Amino acid sequence: MTARILVVDDVPANVKLLEARLLAEYFDVLTAEDGYKALAICEGTHVDLILLDIMMPGIDGFEVCQRLKSNARTAHIPVVMVTALDQPSDRVRGLKAGADDFLTKPVNDTQLIARVRSLVRLKSLSDELRIRADTAQNLGMEDVSRGLDGREESAQILLVDGRASSQERIIKALKSIGEVTAISDPQAALFEAAENAWDMVIVNANFEDYDPLRLCSQLRSLERTRFLPILLAAEVGAEDMVVRALDLGINDYILRPVDPNELLARALTQIKRKRYNDRLRMSVRQTIELAVTDPLTGLHNRRYLDNHLKMLFDRSAARGRPLSACIVDIDRFKSVNDDFGHDAGDEVLKEFAKRIRATVRGADLACRFGGEEFVVVMPDTDSETAGVIAERLRAMVESTPFVVKSTGTRLEMTASFGLSCSAEGAETPAQLLKQADLALYRAKAEGRNRVVANAA
């Protein structure tokens, strides 16, 4: 894994030491001797992670971190404070400033590299999601960064802890941010994590006859819990366990005895990041749906049809099964817009789409082709069966008036249908649609409000 790391320290010897460690692991390294230069580099250069000293001339590391986190362009760069300060209050202050971790000098090489790799991996995932979500914002969708202070709603935290006494202390420390559910059985906790919605999992490594890293690994391997933040509580001196846990994909760790303020700060950081990434994923899903869905009717659009029809056609050909297509056109739809307005026309289109969904089967593909034309593709369906389905929809359209809700006007509507089937000569998806379109043309020419199948 390669990444660009910015080392910020006013002591040249410290910079050289960290630079040598990172270069040995094939990271690209930038350096800065003060906070102002660090901020300038982050503004003008892509940086994946910052190793930041606190005691520096000009502005200290706490202020640098606060400025980075308050700037939308740099807020998502992980920051690890590397300092001689070792008091719990210093760690808490750094975490509250937005730091992702707080390492005390002299830094254990193995632990440092494991932490860097872990944060770079998490940032890479977040970056990919954020790039995709930018498209959604450009299309006028919700800004996913709004309301992400970590306290927007009560958090749901799952605590996996083998001792009742430590359970009580952790629950008390986190009661201000949410509800903590404690479970002593790791396997029961795994089931609970997979079955319900949680904001994070805390795994306390205090079990006498169970390896807590096994639970961390299982949580990362399940689809439902793959992105769930995991915080490991470990004993001082358990560096090997921490390093292995970071390699397995845990998000953060805290050493026992647990400082309540530090635990609270770390939990808030993880919850905030999870909610941000959840919104990114939702934004990406909405963007995908927007790209392939007709916004008025909720049916798939022509872009989706063009891509999906080929797959259905090829699969039907490979299985030797028929594939039928039906193009539907609402008769004299222009008169609805002319006589009652486009709002009424939109209501007719939406109701027509509902009737299509009520008629076709779950395996069928229903799309808005454009304007008042719709396409239904029916896998494993011969022309006779397709005709029955089309006739059912035609009768439903004719027999039930369309009601314009804004005025209460009842509109008598009909529709014309053109059918084609791959078993009757269509050799490509384009030919299948062309034959259905020709059949629709004949239905219109023969008086509308009818189903016409393509003649082989």
Active site residues: 372
Question: In which residue are the tokens 């639970």 written?
Answer: 215
Specify the DSSP element, H or E, that contains 340.
helix 333-340
Q: Do the beta carbons of residue 253 and residue 246 sit within 8 Å?
A: yes
Among residues 439, 107, 303, which one has the least CA distance to residue 295? 303
For residue 257, whether the previous peptide bond is cis, meaning omega lies within 30 degrees of 0, is yes
Number of residues in the chain: 456
The single-letter code of the amino acid at 44 is G
Q: What is the DSSP letter of 300?
A: B
Cα angle: 328, vertex 331, 333; to 5 degrees? 110
Q: Do the beta carbons of residue 38 and residue 6 sit within 8 Å?
A: yes
Interatomic CA distance for residues 374 and 299, integer angstroms = 9
Among residues 64, 17, 27, which one has the least CA distance to residue 48? 27
Question: In which residue are the tokens 């003008």 written?
Answer: 44
DSSP characters for 259-296?
PHHHHHHHHHHHHHHHHHHHHHHHHHHHHHHHHHB-TT
Backbone angles phi, psi at 375, to 5 degrees: -130, 135
Q: Quick one: tokens of 443? A: 């239905």
Among residues 231, 415, 204, which one has the least CA distance to residue 326? 415
